[in-house]
Amino acid sequence: MACISCLLSILYLSSGALAAEKKVYTLEQCVKEALANNWKLKAKKEQINQAEYVKNQARADFLPKLSTSYGYKRYGMDQEAFFKDVPGSPFKVGSTNNYQWRGTVKQPLFTGFAILSTYLSAFRIGY
């Protein structure tokens, strides 16, 4: 019996505390809070952001692609070429340490309108 009265008093006190925290909202505050907590609206904003990203990615296919690579190779000794009956042979044709840096630029000239159609379909999905 004492446990029930304790439980009832806790419920009564907590309901009084909740009643003291009630706040009256204006119409503008209600709309602002509803928009801030609307999950469907948040999901729609994310879909719009995703579509914008896809469109920007499709637009990037029109631009040239740049790439670089770097390499290093070390031989045990200098590279030489030997020629029979040639004075001054062997000739040094390479070094022990070989470095290579390569840069490439690729730009498709014509892809059968594949890039354009991909961009237009991404643009339609986005909006």
Per residue in 62-104, pLDDT (tens digit) is 899 999 999 999 888 777 888 888 787 788 877 888 899 999 9
Domains held by the chain: number: 1
Within-domain flag for 99? yes
Within-domain flag for 6? no
Within-domain flag for 70? yes
Within-domain flag for 91? yes
At 8, the pLDDT band (50, 70, 90 cuts) reads low
Within-domain flag for 64? yes
Domain that holds residue 61: 29-126
Within-domain flag for 83? yes
Within-domain flag for 19? no
Cis amide leading into 87 (omega within 30): no
Q: Left, alpha or beta for 88 (phi > 0: left; psi -120 to 50: alpha)?
A: left
54 CB-contact burial (10 Å; exposed 0-12 / middle 13-18 / buried 19+): middle
Nearest partner of 80 among 91, 95, 71, judged by Cα: 91
* CB of 113 closer than 8 Å to CB of 104: no
In this structure, which amino acid lies at residue 1?
Answer: M
Paired tokens of 25: 């909202």
Q: What is the pTM of this model?
A: 0.46
Within-domain flag for 16? no
